[in-house]
């Protein structure tokens, strides 16, 4: 049996978790490639809960792992159980959960911290020579882990500035394009940093998934 692709989620919902359309499009693209996957998320409380109708913060507590399970019909494991040797590649989905639950970027800007278990996993895949894909806001984490990494979040000037300030090389990119860093074997695409609808988001995500799969031994 081929090794699976590990997919990292950060909850459920664009404003406080994983971007749901990006999750579904990524998993669909993997299935269309004939590649198996396993989703993971940290077993922690969300930074906060946002009402996705109003955008207002709610006085609630929700668990990142349990919320991620809503998207993938329960097929998600605690990221603490992720063993790099069991997987051919890594993909991190976007959404503000990356900036709020997997890191503190939404609250601290360029002085953000990354959840230690997430940072360890990011580094472990690259150290093992395995490819990774990061979409939407997720690439902002990369330069704090990989010195001089080439990546894209699309055309957002402020976030691109954070990437360059942290030592990364930001490449302006259209919604249907990907950027590839050969040294670290990392693929990035803007997804909903630029996408105005599901069809647009699918274009770059499909290319990212295809490149990651081709670089891996998942197929």
Task: Give the active site residues.
Answer: 136
The secondary structure of 113-174 as a DSSP string is: -B-HHHHHHHHHHHHTT--EEEETTGGGGGGGTSTT-EE---S-HHHHHHHHHTT-EE----
Instruction: Specify the DSSP class assigned to residue 42.
Output: -
Q: What's the distance, CA 8 to chain centroid?
A: 6
- Check: CB of residue 126 under 8 Å from CB of residue 141: no
The 10 Å Cβ neighbour count of residue 81 is 10
Instruction: Report the alpha-carbon distance of residue 55 to residue 63 in Å, rounded.
Output: 19
Token duo for residue 155: 């055309």
């Amino acid at each position: 049996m081929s090794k699976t692709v590990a997919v990292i989620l950060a909850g459920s919902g664009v404003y406080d978790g994983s971007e749901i359309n990006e999750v579904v499009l990524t998993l669909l693209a993997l299935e269309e490639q004939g590649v198996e996957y396993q989703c993971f998320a940290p077993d922690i409380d969300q930074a906060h809960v946002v009402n996705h109708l109003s955008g207002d913060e709610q006085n609630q507590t929700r668990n990142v792992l349990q919320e991620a399970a809503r998207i993938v019909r329960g097929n998600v494991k605690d990221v603490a159980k992720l063993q790099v040797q069991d997987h051919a590649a890594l993909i991190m989905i976007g959404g503000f959960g990356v900036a709020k639950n997997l890191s503190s970027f939404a609250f601290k800007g360029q002085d953000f911290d990354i959840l230690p278990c997430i940072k360890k996993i990011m580094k472990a895949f690259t150290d093992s020579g395995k490819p990774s894909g990061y979409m939407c806001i997720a690439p902002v984490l990369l330069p704090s882990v990989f010195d001089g990494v080439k990546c894209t979040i699309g055309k957002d000037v402020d976030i691109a500035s954070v990437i360059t300030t942290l030592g990364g090389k930001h490449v302006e990119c259209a919604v249907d394009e990907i950027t590839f860093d050969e040294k670290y074997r990392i693929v990035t695409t803007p997804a909903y940093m630029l996408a105005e609808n599901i069809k647009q988001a699918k274009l770059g995500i499909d290319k990212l998934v295809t490149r990651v799969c081709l670089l891996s031994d998942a197929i």
